[in-house]
Structure 1
Amino acid sequence: MSDLRASTLTWAEVDPLRHPFELDEDAAKALAGLVAPLLPSPEAMEELWPHSLDPVTEFLVNRYGRWASGWDWSVGEGDNDGGVVDVWCCANHSMTTADATAPLAVTALLEWRDWIEDLAERFSALAPPSHSAVPLSSVDPWYWERACTRLVTVVADRTRAHSGWYGHCMQVLEWFLAYSGIDEERAREIVESAVGGRFSSWAAPDVVLVDTVSSRFARTVDGNL
């Protein structure tokens, strides 16, 4: 089975253009019916934790692709720390009966997918003009700085800068660089250089810190740091 941690997802694995997805109301109800039998009983839930929801995640990943592993990546200290999903908290708090919980899991999947699609739109708007045709060395660093500032701000807002939020923030910055044509290994190096150790749980970055990180981000992409 592939890695079920959403924190390790790459842009290639979540890019909506590569992984089309539609789920109307009837299909959502049908999906909930397939998810319900995979949910553990309340009695078994604690015994199986932290893997009590693995059967659901495996099913969704096999059906839709690895991007779906983020369906339960909730805000704050859920089963998976530092995500953006609001409708799902964790198995202990979100699960009741299978019939009630399965539609909630589907709603969480849709919320996660909406976030990915929102990011794709933001990436398109923030990417340097003709980024696929112009050498990175020729791109005005202002584009990278602007993108970093806006992406850090939106991730801090969506995660409410709760526990572990900076992990997904760094991931989103890596995704943006990958979208812009930078290979994954180099993207990780750039983001680690710009962000590593500068953000903290339960602390939204102030303007000065965001500006500092964004400036380092731009200079690192440009090869001047």
Structure 2
Amino acid sequence: MSELWAHTLTWADVDPARHRFEMDDDTAEQLQSLVVPLLPDADVAREDGGRSLDGVTEFLVGRYGRWACGWNWSVGEGDVDGGVVEVWCCASDSVTTPDATAPLVVEALREWRGWLEDLSERFAALAPSESPAVSSADGWPWERACARLVTVVADRTQAESGWYGHCMQVLRWFLAYNGVDEGQAGRIVEDAVGGRFGSWIAPGGPVVDAVSVRFARGVDGIG
């Protein structure tokens, strides 16, 4: 189901300013108790993999919003390929007893939310002063933003399997943050990246520079 698939999340889905989330120790303990009965048996988790956690994901999405479906988007080849969550590995390894697994689920959700809040702060710091709809001969702010975002996503995902999928998503989110239409953002990012990133390898400086220049040119073409 696409509503539970983190790769399809838009900035509107995940923007922390639109979706309140507070998690103190008492709230975390309460959430753990609600998650426990939703967790699969360890044998089922090994057999069915990430599908065995659909009930947990549906519950978190219903409680907090669609952004929460990224709670188990772990680094590398986990339940969802190429994410940033380190505390959770995958259903087959992370699911043990319900009482031991529930705290991992809550911590993974908090880690995912922390990443979204970090991105929001980075977007605000990197946002050019000019609207992308205003043509400018100086594309440097967009180049700089692209380069820094690619670098931070490569670092957080450890440039493991499928990392570039989330990287491209983050670039689309940044454009959406700056008012670019979702369809336009997708085309700009696709044209900029164009197969230049691959699994298991962080892009070198020349590659990042080339992508960033194309990204800035794509933004400059809006209008």
TM-score bracket, shorter-length normalisation: over 0.9
Query: Within 5 A, what are the aligned runs for 1:72-91?
Result: 72-91=72-91
Pair 1:184-2:182 in alignment: yes
**Of 139-148 and 99-108, the range deviating more from structure 2:** 139-148
How far apart in 2 are the matches of 1:86 and 1:219? 35
The number of residue pairs the alignment matches comes to: 222
Q: Which amino acid aligns with 1:97?
A: T
How far apart in 2 are the matches of 1:161 and 1:219? 25
How far apart in 1 are the matches of 2:21 and 2:134? 32
Are the equivalent residues in 2 in contact too, given 1:72–1:85 (CA < 8 A)? yes
Are the equivalent residues in 2 in contact too, given 1:128–1:139 (CA < 8 A)? no
Residue from 187, 206, 209 that aligns with 2:207 = 209
Residue from 141, 144, 151 that aligns with 2:142 = 144
Are the equivalent residues in 1 in contact too, given 2:57–2:68 (CA < 8 A)? yes
C-alpha RMSD of the superposition: 1.5
Match of 1:17 in 2: 17
Q: C-alpha offsets along residues 160-186 of structure 1, whole Å, 9 cap, x if unaligned?
A: 000000000000000000000101000
How far apart in 2 are the matches of 1:158 and 1:136? 32
Q: CA deviation at 1:137?
A: 1.6
How far apart in 2 are the matches of 1:16 and 1:10? 12
TM-score w.r.t. length of structure 2? 0.96
**Of 23-32 and 138-147, the range deviating more from structure 2:** 138-147
Long gaps (5+) in structure 1: none
Are the equivalent residues in 1 in contact too, given 2:75–2:83 (CA < 8 A)? yes
Moved over 6 A (4+): none
Are the equivalent residues in 1 in contact too, given 2:11–2:177 (CA < 8 A)? yes
Is the alpha carbon distance of 1:41 and 1:127 closer, same or farther for their aligned partners in structure 2, counting shifts above 3 Å? same
Match of 1:161 in 2: 159
Helix, strand or coil at the partner of 2:4: coil
Long gaps (5+) in structure 2: none
Q: C-alpha offsets along residues 73-98 of structure 1, whole Å, 9 cap, x if unaligned?
A: 00000011000000000011111100
Are the equivalent residues in 1 in contact too, given 2:192–2:211 (CA < 8 A)? yes
TM-score w.r.t. length of structure 1? 0.95
Percent of aligned positions that are identical: 68
Are the equivalent residues in 2 in contact too, given 1:7–1:168 (CA < 8 A)? yes
Are the equivalent residues in 1 in contact too, given 2:49–2:90 (CA < 8 A)? no
Match of 1:170 in 2: 168
Query: Within 5 A, what are the aligned runs for 1:26-37?
Result: 26-37=26-37
